[in-house]
A = this chain, B = another copy of it.
């Protein structure tokens, strides 16, 4: 082979050895370059969240409304790589959100869990005291300012309030989840999946009642177990029903007429159907409706209603399930009503539970997003905080605890005040997950403390009375010595240290702030610090992050409030007395009957999920501070068997919000040229 060009230009010049060496160096440089190019994506994947986060810098000199819009989220696959996810564990939904596969739990099962922090609040004003912003500010401080791995695990908000009164729920100011419009709208479709699953059950119930009312046993049997090429076979889900009925037969032809009857007739009592339809819209006109009025339904009308989608039991199941199999089993156990003979009827009896699992197969994967400072967030499940337990999912917490590693932090939030959200977090969620928390962050505001100290009423829409704008140390002190102190004591009942986070507003004075921190520490809080995350992002929560880190390093001594084997009434009484400060409980006759019925059905071993107002430690919303000397009335007792809790009703709980005269939607718009959304907040 002749190769003159080589020789002339490089090889056969003055110093052959020098050229030789150059070439070898060039060759190895290129070789090295290629190796790096090929291996880099592999070597840069740590198996837990590394400290080599790319922090998104905040621009603190723009107006509030522009904050979210101004920050460009990092691509979700970059975020995923930074937190230690493998590409095959990620399912992107667009560029800024992704679902995370549960297989991660298997891969990291030997990894020690991080520290587990719960953000709860004192009894709030109707305006809310900022638990979500504290949660987000805290992880921004931990990850972006203290270089400690951290994850926030948040609830997905209902779309209803976004267009109604409350607006979005992505945090606020410089402590937000971005993009906030994705967070507040469809996200990755989990609530839509819940709506679809919930309403399939409802359609199945009414259609089944119609078919049972209009067909003979034989006709029902022939349709339910159809002859395919001359052969009748039970389907797997029908075998489950046969088993519950105690019928140990596999050949449909061998059933006795009595067995056929009990197999084909769920015999639902229309007045005892507890399953409601749901819609993720604030549609007050659906609170109470009559269905089945078309001629085609042959007069089978009945009264029922719609709840907001997040009130569905399926949402509570999503939040409590700890695997796909666990979710499937819970979905099959859901009780939709009672037969005329008093037997509970389940979704499995309806033959629909497999389809529910199929509808929910993607919803079970948590959604990865990020804060304004580019730190990771899981958004997953958002059950109601009154008729359900008001906490985000067990699975998101478990995944996050593995990802942050031993010295990292997972910060999650409980709905309502600590007397409700935190109590349910400990007694229901931690019981289901087996996880043990390390620190409680108790969020307080000067505003709420003044209210508990005797300040005038606070209500949404009305201007704040002057007590809340001017310095008033005596109201603050009185509030601290009542509600704040009591909520700290409640956390200590569970053996967990408390850090008080004072969410600072611009009307708060330094003397007020100092007073709160001093009293809180005097009441047993490990620490108490003011937080300015709303105005400054993570930088404003550095003191809180340091206090949490310090408190988490101490040994905790977690214990449940009650033994699960206690009788239902005793469990309710324990919560009422020890948490709310009631003298006793008073069960209505209806409540007593229900408790007897649940005991008889074997549901006595479930934990309790109190449905009580969040505006007072008592059942009376206007009793602020730390009321005593009251008896807690239990109007009724209900059960979510699939989710796995009994919920006593203390007063009436609305499960469907309404739209005001001028709902948020008036200001929500989209510019079709720029694609920019206005009016979402």
A residues adjacent to B (C-beta < 8 A): 1, 3, 6, 11, 16-17, 20-21, 23-24, 26-27, 30-31, 33-34, 37, 91-95, 99, 159, 163, 181, 185-186, 189, 192-193, 195-196, 199-200, 202-204, 206-207, 210-211, 215, 220, 223-224, 226, 235-238, 277, 279-294, 296-297, 300, 303, 305, 323-325, 327-328, 351-352, 354-355, 357-359, 361-362, 658-663, 665-670, 672-673, 675, 677, 679-680
Q: Could you give 20 example pairs across A and B, Cβ below 8 Å?
A: A93-B93, A199-B283, A203-B284, A203-B285, A223-B662, A236-B669, A285-B292, A296-B658, A324-B672, A324-B675, A328-B670, A354-B667, A354-B668, A354-B669, A354-B670, A354-B679, A355-B668, A358-B668, A358-B670, A361-B675
Residues of B within 8 A of A672 (CB): 323-325, 327-328, 357
Residue of A185, A279, A362 with highest tally of chain B CB at under 10 A: A279
B34 and A30 contact, CB distance less than 8 A? yes
B355 and A163 contact, CB distance less than 8 A? yes
Report the separation of the CA atoms of residues A3 and B24 in the bound assembly, to the nearest whole angstrom: 10
CB of A216 to closest CB in B, whole Å? 12
B358 and A181 contact, CB distance less than 8 A? yes
Report the separation of the CA atoms of residues A442 and B292 in the bound assembly, to the nearest whole angstrom: 40
Report the separation of the CA atoms of residues A658 and B300 in the bound assembly, to the nearest whole angstrom: 14
Report the separation of the CA atoms of residues A88 and B287 in the bound assembly, to the nearest whole angstrom: 44
CB of A489 to closest CB in B, whole Å? 37
Report the separation of the CA atoms of residues A33 and B31 in the bound assembly, to the nearest whole angstrom: 10
Report the separation of the CA atoms of residues A291 and B289 in the bound assembly, to the nearest whole angstrom: 5
Residues of B within 8 A of A284 (CB): 203, 206-207, 210, 294, 296-297
B362 and A660 contact, CB distance less than 8 A? no
Given A31-B30, A675-B324, CB of A665 within 8 Å of CB of B200: yes
Residue of A283, A292, A362, A675 with highest tally of chain B CB at under 10 A: A283
Given A290-B290, A662-B224, CB of A202 within 8 Å of CB of B355: no
Known interface pairs A91-B94, A202-B281, A285-B292; 14 further A-B residue pairs with C-beta atoms within 8 A, sorted by A's residue number? A6-B20, A23-B23, A192-B192, A200-B281, A207-B285, A211-B661, A285-B300, A287-B296, A293-B303, A324-B670, A351-B666, A357-B669, A358-B669, A358-B677
B16 and A283 contact, CB distance less than 8 A? no
B662 and A283 contact, CB distance less than 8 A? no
B296 and A200 contact, CB distance less than 8 A? no
A21 and B34 contact, CB distance less than 8 A? no
Residues of B within 8 A of A294 (CB): 284, 287-288, 305
B297 and A287 contact, CB distance less than 8 A? yes
A352 and B665 contact, CB distance less than 8 A? yes
